[in-house]
Structure 1
Amino acid sequence: MGSPAMVTTNHTSGRRRRLRLTGACAITLALAAGAIALPAAPAHAADPITAAEQPHFAYYHLDQARAKGYTGKGVTIALIDGEVDTSAPELAGATIIDKTPCTVTSGANSKSHGTAMASLLVSKEYGVAPDATLLAYRTSFPKDGDKAESDCRGHHGNSLYEPEWLINQAITDGAQIISISATSGDTSDAVKWAIARANALGVIVVSGAGNDNEEDTIDTFGKWSGVVSVSAIDTSGKRAEYSSWGKGVTVAAVGGPMIAHNYE
């Protein structure tokens, strides 16, 4: 697997961009009033990755939360991201189900990002919700080396790997929380109504505020009413220098540094 390392590169694909492992992962469970954000600076550690290496674990006193029974048991979380490597040691024992509706092959960067996000959510070692069920949905960013096969072509020009389709699929599959670690300039009705459906059914959609250090959330999912948009802070409570902010931001959370496996 190679040594764990922080993935720090920003990539763009069309009108969407996967966040650089920053301020992206918000989980509104009883055990985490805020959310866990991913880091901006490189970090390294030997396998396996431990809770002691992840600042969010101590900051949010997740050991105490677990001791009180706040583990996410009975909660179903959908992760719309890259491939999740379930063989990663920090994901041992986690309940992760790949629900991608078509054939998507993730590039190394997307696999690194998806695995890191899944680990923050449900890792038995340092996840915010170690006993939750995680439904994983692969999206596609071609500039990250992702490839969607012909079975991903839906009706009326829709692609089965796009956020609007995957949000609706996650709702249908029983997700109670949907985590999207990407920004998006898409203002289509399809996205609007997918998020509106989630709101109407009480499904929480969480996403990042972006990492361009700007007061601008127009290219994030936070522009939509009802989305829990997350900016990043450091462990002193100050806004992380890379984190964007603005009217769409709902909550701030520790943004690292966080240790993750780099598959590149």
Structure 2
Amino acid sequence: MGGSLGVWAGGSLGVWAGGSLGVWAGGTYSPLPQNSTLWQKIRLQQAQALAPNLGGGVTVAVIDTGIDLKHPAFQGSLSDPASWRDFYAADAVPQEEGTLGVGGYGHGTNVAGIVLQIAPKAKIMPLRVLGQDGSGDVVMVAQAVDWAVAKGAKIINMSLGSEDDSKVVQDAVNRATARGILVVSSAGNANLNKITYPATNADIKGNGAYAVSVGSVNLQDVKSTFSNYANTLELVAPGEKVAAPAPGGMMAAWSGTSMAAPMAAGGLALALGQTLSVPLGAVTDKMIGNAFNIYNISANQPYKDMLGEKGRLDLEVFLKNVVK
């Protein structure tokens, strides 16, 4: 990346059921049938039964390309408009801009939609820091993190990353985690033995209790061909062909570690919507430590201990260990 463009969205528009786009039917949010196998994998139905408030009272800040603010999927599911911000355009309307299928347009809408499929009664705080090409400035990311904290987010999802460590972003993340805000970051999609920032710092002292980094596996629990991996990566989740809202009242499927991260963010929202049985500082560790072990799969042997402490997100086991 050149100049001041220091971060980018991680994910690409894919296809499902013979096409990449469909028309959104109705305004009531619920898990999409196109994701049924995926949700079975992470035990979503069982998790929602354990967390019947479904994330109610929890605001998740989605720091991304913005969202389609008028999409029927989001009606009644967004935070107070006074908490919205478009840092990229310097206004209060974080609306996605662009052409679907080109660059990052639709990325933030998909990410926010995944959070709501996991935790349907959570509120999304849309914060735009990335342009229609999916890139942006680290300063805007840091500003958005501070904004999310000031405006009452309990969870921050950053499905974005940079190859370079940014002190300004990491300082903002440190301020957030010091306030007990949970921060979820995606690992990157270059199939490299290193994960992007800020995800790579998620396990450092001071952040570890409140941050989590997320990579991607397929429905067979095998590392996605695109997913970065490292011994600092804490968790993986299914990140391939995940159907969710798309701009213009549509729905579409995207693939990337960007799609895996909001599954973890949504799972954290389910937990925080309930009465916890553990201290807040133990919640992300419980999510990581109660993941499903994927290292007995032969295809994952080259990545031993580099796809999380144990492996793939298991929302049912996680919630059994954190809520009353």
Fold conserved (TM > 0.5)?
Answer: yes
Counterparts of residues 205-244 of structure 1 (less than 5 Å): 205-217=183-195, 219-224=196-201, 225=204, 226=207, 227-244=211-228
Counterparts of residues 67-216 of structure 1 (less than 5 Å): 67-68=49-50, 69=52, 71-98=54-81, 99-100=84-85, 102-103=90-91, 106-108=96-98, 109-122=103-116, 127-141=117-131, 143-144=133-134, 162-216=140-194
Aligned residues: 218
* Partner deviation per Cα, 1:117-172 (whole Å, 9 max, x = no partner): 111112xxxx11111111111113374498xxxxxxxxxxxx89711111111111
SS of the residue aligned with 1:170? helix
Whether the 8 Å contact between 1:81 and 1:180 is mirrored in structure 2 is yes
Whether the 8 Å contact between 2:9 and 2:159 is mirrored in structure 1 is yes
Q: Distance in 2 between matches of 1:145 and 1:244?
A: 19
The verdict on how the C-alpha distance between 1:131 and 1:105 changes in structure 2, with shifts beyond 3 A counting, is closer
Q: Distance in 2 between matches of 1:233 and 1:145?
A: 24
- Say which structure, 1 or 2, has more relative contact order (CA 8 Å, 6+ apart): 1
Match of 1:51 in 2: 32
Whether the 8 Å contact between 1:214 and 1:244 is mirrored in structure 2 is yes
Match of 1:152 in 2: none
RMSD value, Cα: 2.9
2:112 maps to amino acid: A
* Partner deviation per Cα, 1:72-130 (whole Å, 9 max, x = no partner): 112111110112113323334423445116326643244411111111112xxxx1111
2:197 maps to amino acid: T
* Partner deviation per Cα, 1:184-241 (whole Å, 9 max, x = no partner): 2443432221111122111111111111111112x32112233411010112211111
Q: Distance in 2 between matches of 1:13 and 1:189?
A: 14
SS of the residue aligned with 2:85? coil
Match of 1:151 in 2: none
SS of the residue aligned with 1:229? strand
Match of 2:46 in 1: 64
1:88 maps to amino acid: H
1:65 maps to amino acid: A
Q: Distance in 2 between matches of 1:207 and 1:53?
A: 25
Match of 1:245 in 2: 229
Whether the 8 Å contact between 2:61 and 2:124 is mirrored in structure 1 is yes
Match of 2:257 in 1: none
Q: Distance in 2 between matches of 1:136 and 1:202?
A: 20
Displacement of 1:14 in angstroms is 2.1
1:84 maps to amino acid: I
* Partner deviation per Cα, 1:5-30 (whole Å, 9 max, x = no partner): xxxxxxx9822111115xxxxxxxxx
1:240 maps to amino acid: S
Match of 1:156 in 2: none
TM-score (structure 1 length as normaliser)? 0.72
2:42 maps to amino acid: Y
The verdict on how the C-alpha distance between 1:59 and 1:205 changes in structure 2, with shifts beyond 3 A counting, is same
Q: Return the match for 2:10 from 15, 19, 25.
A: 19
Q: Distance in 2 between matches of 1:200 and 1:175?
A: 14
Which runs of 5 or more residues in structure 2 are unaligned? 26-30, 249-324
Which runs of 5 or more residues in structure 1 are unaligned? 1-11, 22-39, 147-158
* Partner deviation per Cα, 1:12-58 (whole Å, 9 max, x = no partner): 9822111115xxxxxxxxxxxxxxxxxx7433353227621014323
1:51 maps to amino acid: L
The verdict on how the C-alpha distance between 1:160 and 1:229 changes in structure 2, with shifts beyond 3 A counting, is closer
TM-score (structure 2 length as normaliser)? 0.59
SS of the residue aligned with 2:170? helix
Counterparts of residues 33-44 of structure 1 (less than 5 Å): 41-43=14-16, 44=20
